[in-house]
Amino acid sequence: MAAASGSVRLQRCMVSPAGRHSASLIFLHGSGDSGQGLRTWIKQVLNQELTFQHIKIIYPTAPPRPYTPMKGGISNVWFDRFKISNDCPEHLESINVMCQVLTDLIDDEVKSGIKKNRILVGGFSMGGCMAMHLAYRNHQDVAGVFALSSFLNKTSAVYQALQESDVILPELFQCHGTADELVLHSWGEETNSRLKSLGVSTKFLSFPGVYHELSKAELEKLKSWILTKLPGEMERQSE
């Protein structure tokens, strides 16, 4: 199920910065969720909204499409998978279509005056995988990438793209629960190791006893990392 670029405009919910907008964060949800659903989930885990003084947060919603792991049922997913496994081919056609759709989202921020090196992309589960494809194959000049409970397939097009790259790549911040039974912790570790071997500066944080879910400790670490990648005006002047 392909869609031409430009024909899909993603629904999105946004959290405006408290002060002057000087950076943007695109946060992609997991399969079957929505931008509003992810925003609400984060708020429940943190007991408060995730907000920043200078960073706008964009939570887009994946358009509904047939999803093979659900026997072809319609779901809000960024792309299709043949199965939830790291040992099968990627459904590259659907991934490539969504890379183009999400590029439009990045372009919107650039047109509004935000530089590419002041934009972060990341997500939870499938959203993290989508963010890695988006950044490492198409936008190697963003400020950084984060992936929570995510993985890349063993023969991922991301690895192939990085073998041909000779630029300084955005840093990857990865988190994974050791008790995750849907996306195994070892799949996340293997993804991190492969990317590191291909020249990506990576961080990998393990969270004992955490399943396929967001945790408060993880989100607090993520928030700190975001601020190191997208510092506010005062912090940038004092560097």
Output Rg (C-alpha) for the chain, integer angstroms.
Answer: 17
Distance CA(196)–CA(89), nearest Å, equals 21
- For the entire predicted model, the pTM comes to 0.94
Q: Is 141 labeled as catalytic in the residue annotation?
A: no
pLDDT one-digit tens code per residue, 36-63: 999 999 999 999 999 999 999 999 999 9
Q: Choose, from 34, 75, 108, 212, the residue flagged as catalytic.
A: 212
Q: Is 176 labeled as catalytic in the residue annotation?
A: no
DSSP state of 103: H
Full DSSP string of 145-194? EEEES----TT-HHHHHHHT--SPPPEEEEEEETT-TTTTHHHHHHHHHH
Domains of the chain, start order? 12-229 (3.40.50.1820)
Q: Which residues contact 236 (CB under 8 A, 6 or more apart)?
A: none
Please report, to the nearest 10 degrees, the dihedral formed by the alpha carbons of residues 191, 205, 34, 160 taken in order: -20
Instruction: Output the pLDDT for position 141.
Output: 97
Instruction: Output the pLDDT for position 1.
Output: 35
With beta carbons less than 8 A apart as the criterion, state whether 172 and 192 touch.
yes
Q: Which residues contact 19 (CB under 8 A, 6 or more apart)?
A: 53, 54, 232
pLDDT one-digit tens code per residue, 175-233: 999 999 999 999 999 999 999 999 999 999 999 999 999 999 999 999 999 999 999 97
Instruction: Output the pLDDT for position 239.
Output: 45
pLDDT one-digit tens code per residue, 126-184: 999 999 999 999 999 999 999 999 999 999 999 999 998 888 999 999 999 999 999 99
Quote the tokens at residue 39.
Answer: 């925003």
Q: Which of 57, 28, 213 is nearest to 126 (CA)?
A: 28
pLDDT at 19 over 50: yes
> What is the distance in angstroms between the CA of the first residue and the CA of the last residue of the chain?
48
Q: Choose, from 125, 149, 150, 156, the residue flagged as catalytic.
A: 125
Q: Rounded to whole angstroms, what are the CA distances from 85 to 32, 93, 190?
A: 17, 18, 13
Q: Is 16 labeled as catalytic in the residue annotation?
A: no
With beta carbons less than 8 A apart as the criterion, state whether 98 and 3 touch.
no
